[in-house]
Amino acid sequence: MGTPTPAPSPTGTHEDMGSPKTPPSGGASPTPEPSPGSLKDPHGVDISRHDTGSAERERKKNVEELKPTEPPNANGTFDIRPGHVYYASGLVSNEQFEFHKSATGLLGSVGGWSQTQVAGKGHGADAFADAYKDVARRFLQVWARALQSIEGVVIGLTETANNYQRADWASRQANKRHSLEMPPLQSPPVCAGKTTYDDVSSIRWTGTGDDSGPILAWAGNGPDWLADTFKEAFEHGLRLGKTVEITPGAQTDELRAIGDAWQAVGKAAKEHAKGFADCIAYITDGGNSEWQAAMNSFCQTIWGTTAWGRTRGADAKEVPRDTPGARDWKTNPKDSPSARRPIIEVLAKTGDELHKAFHDAADAADKCRETTSRLGAEAAKATVKDLTVDLDLMELTRLTATLAFGEIVMTFRSHMDKTGADAAVEACHAAFHEAAGKVRALMAELDEAYLSAPTFEAEAARARAFGARALDEFRPRHRWTRDGHTDLGIYQVDLASTEWLENSHTATRHVGLTDEQLAQRLRDDLKKGPRPIVEGQPPPAWPHGQPFPANASTFKDLDSAQRATQYNIDKHSEEITAWIEDQKSAAKPTPLELKVDNTPYGETGRSIDRQHMRDDPFPASKAEDTYGVKSKLVYNEDLDPPFVVMTSMPIVGEKAN
């Protein structure tokens, strides 16, 4: 909140609260607890890495101390006070730590030395290991970005409650309703902080070794003193075929355990998303349709949806909405939080697909090992029988000599079903390559999730807006307008406390976007779709699609948006006054657009002109600094002042001298 000049606060006046309210659809409990963040290995052992015991206990104790004595709906109405918002912030903080622990728990189970080189040797195994390395890295990068999105909510909720406390106190002071000291403000709860996760252990084979134990065991069928000679000869014989390509073989038990850990963390992602929604549901009145819709949107955007999102397939390319398996990245206020959370669904899908890929690879390796071991063991048994039956002492002695080595090898090879063994090896290579392809196919959606994850600043702005509206029970009004200011042409606006009112969306759509997310908007928010280039015809003006907005722009954070917008309003106060007079008698209200080319605050944000889309389908590199601001007002006679800033955005403008 940009701390507007405040007026009396209606907090504590409940005549207009209405009938008892129903619980929000997004949460199952009015006082949610963070979802469990543990991971278990295939044997049921907890493999999570937790906070140190004392730190975790202290953190949870501090959050519990924030809990108000009465929930928001204690008296049959829904009354949100700053204490409820502080507590919701603490609950989200707890959930963030659980989210973080799931990632560190995953690394604890797939990041140790016992997981190195477990894919075994072979070009198929190498391809699988390389695909896994890339996908695992991207998965953890997405997780780290989501962690920052959650942290923005923690800080934003605390900030908006503090802003409310300041404004409410100043309002009462200005109207001489009390002379008490300002109520204490809260520091944000402890957060996980900016995190970069380590890479998982490489499963690619980099050493040497053998895997001929089951075959060589058959050397024991002959005299003990011949075992060493047979062992060396059998090993040499095995290396004459394709078996050597996958020797040593995969460690299949370890592969399956890795797959199980990934499936567990995918399931945990869904639990954390539910836990987050429960935290926000604590300060949501489900009986208020606007409030519930805002909650739905808020709990969708944190997981990557946008107002301009498109429906995309597994390859992240746009597809028709009814395409089987397609994922919708567009915010829909009518959907519950669990119905639309694309980043979470991508993480969960990745966990499930990695689980299947690791198990499929392990099954293929076991099948190959079973076949080659059986064939090799049969050949070894026949070799021992051929070379030890009906031999006298002199001939047995000859077998131990160097000159007999080649004879043993040739005998072994004559009994070995080389064609069958080679076919088994090729099938194993093919299975690992197939698994690698399926794993690598996960990258497209992970890249889209990484691109779409909101920044800390974006989620802090949305949390401040949701918290501010919740603290006023989503009433349609300008809470902090001082009596008489509108008549004097003084128009104080507060973007946070009017978000969603009259479809206003500055905090939701124009704060905290990266350059890449600005390009993403131009890619997705299209008036006309891409036009293919046809040989022999003039090239289309917009081959990559014509964006709807003239430019995609963003403020750095909500405070900069508030300052720039208020400056724009103040600079045009006379124009606004005249516009209001015109609207009173107009048959149909018309919006008012205001702009300034610069403000006293320097850079206002970043922007990309849509014209760059003519030549570049994703013009992130064309983003530039902005110095001006454009705001659009819509008239509403029931408000004081009688308008809402529907949207405000940076424009390039010009740098002030």
Distance CA 50, CA 71 (A): 30
Distance CA 189, CA 66 (A): 10
pLDDT along the chain (657 residues), means of 10: 39 34 46 41 41 79 93 91 97 97 95 79 93 98 98 98 91 68 87 92 75 45 50 54 59 95 98 98 97 98 98 97 95 97 99 98 90 73 66 53 60 69 86 98 99 98 98 94 90 97 98 99 97 91 96 98 98 98 95 98 98 97 98 97 98 89
C-alpha distances (whole Å) from 601 to each of 4, 56, 164, 553, 598 are 17, 41, 24, 17, 8
Token pair recorded at residue 58: 């202290």
DSSP state of 113: G
Whether 540 maps to a domain, the answer reads yes
Helix (H) or strand (E) holding 650: strand 643-651
Q: Which residue, 557, 582, 572, is CA-closest to 645?
A: 572
> Considering all CA atoms of the chain, what is the largest pairwise distance in Å, rounded to the nearest integer?
122
Q: Let me know the angle formed at the C-alpha of 454 by 452 and 455, rounded to the nearest 5 degrees.
A: 130
Question: Which amino acid belongs to residue 48?
Answer: S
Q: Which residue, 304, 288, 372, is CA-closest to 16?
A: 288
Whether 490 maps to a domain, the answer reads yes
**Phi and psi of 475, rounded to 5°?**
-70, 145
Distance CA 307, CA 304 (A): 10
* DSSP notation for 242-268: GGGGG-S---HHHHHHHHHHHHHHHHH
CB contact at 8 A, 526 and 543: no
Whether 622 maps to a domain, the answer reads yes
| Per-residue confidence (pLDDT) for residue 186, from 0 to 100 | 93
Kindly report the number of other CB atoms within 10 A of residue 91's CB atom: 27
Whether 387 maps to a domain, the answer reads no
CB contact at 8 A, 327 and 346: yes
Q: What share of the chain is helix, strand, coil (3-state, %, to 5)?
A: 55, 10, 40
* DSSP notation for 124-140: HHHHHHHHHHHHHHHHH
Token pair recorded at residue 362: 């392990």
Structural domain of 604? 484-657
**Phi and psi of 73, rounded to 5°?**
-105, 30
- Domains in the chain: how many in total? 1
Helix crossing, 252-281 with 82-110: angle to 10°? 180
Q: Which residue, 195, 193, 190, is CA-closest to 60?
A: 190
Sequence-distant (6+) residues with CB within 8 A of 260 are 41, 42, 355
Whether 178 maps to a domain, the answer reads no
Helix crossing, 82-110 with 456-471: angle to 10°? 150
| Per-residue confidence (pLDDT) for residue 179, from 0 to 100 | 62
Distance CA 64, CA 56 (A): 12
Distance CA 207, CA 209 (A): 7
C-alpha distances (whole Å) from 84 to each of 161, 167, 398 are 9, 17, 90
Distance CA 111, CA 257 (A): 12
- Residue linked to tokens 């689980």: 355
Token pair recorded at residue 487: 């008549």
Whether 649 maps to a domain, the answer reads yes
Distance CA 178, CA 174 (A): 9
Task: Look at strands 546-547 and 526-528 and give their pairing.
Answer: antiparallel
Q: Which residue, 493, 603, 613, is CA-closest to 552?
A: 613
| Per-residue confidence (pLDDT) for residue 41, from 0 to 100 | 38
Whether 501 maps to a domain, the answer reads yes
C-alpha distances (whole Å) from 91 to each of 88, 161, 528 are 5, 15, 43
Question: Which amino acid belongs to residue 395?
Answer: E
Helix crossing, 82-110 with 53-65: angle to 10°? 160
Q: Let me know the angle formed at the C-alpha of 397 by 394 and 403, rounded to the nearest 5 degrees.
A: 110
| Per-residue confidence (pLDDT) for residue 12, from 0 to 100 | 36
| Per-residue confidence (pLDDT) for residue 565, from 0 to 100 | 98
Return the half-sphere exposure (C-beta side, CA atoms, 13 A cut-off) of residue 317: 3
Sequence-distant (6+) residues with CB within 8 A of 235 are 210, 212, 216
SS3 assignment, position 224: helix
**Phi and psi of 425, rounded to 5°?**
-65, -45
DSSP state of 478: -
Whether 228 maps to a domain, the answer reads no
SS3 assignment, position 184: coil
C-alpha distances (whole Å) from 162 to each of 156, 165, 184, 239, 474 are 10, 5, 9, 73, 18
Token pair recorded at residue 129: 């290991």
Task: Look at strands 551-555 and 605-609 and give their pairing.
Answer: antiparallel
SS3 assignment, position 60: helix
CB contact at 8 A, 555 and 505: no
Distance CA 386, CA 383 (A): 5
Distance CA 369, CA 434 (A): 18
| Per-residue confidence (pLDDT) for residue 46, from 0 to 100 | 43
Q: Let me know the angle formed at the C-alpha of 429 by 428 and 434, rounded to the nearest 5 degrees.
A: 95
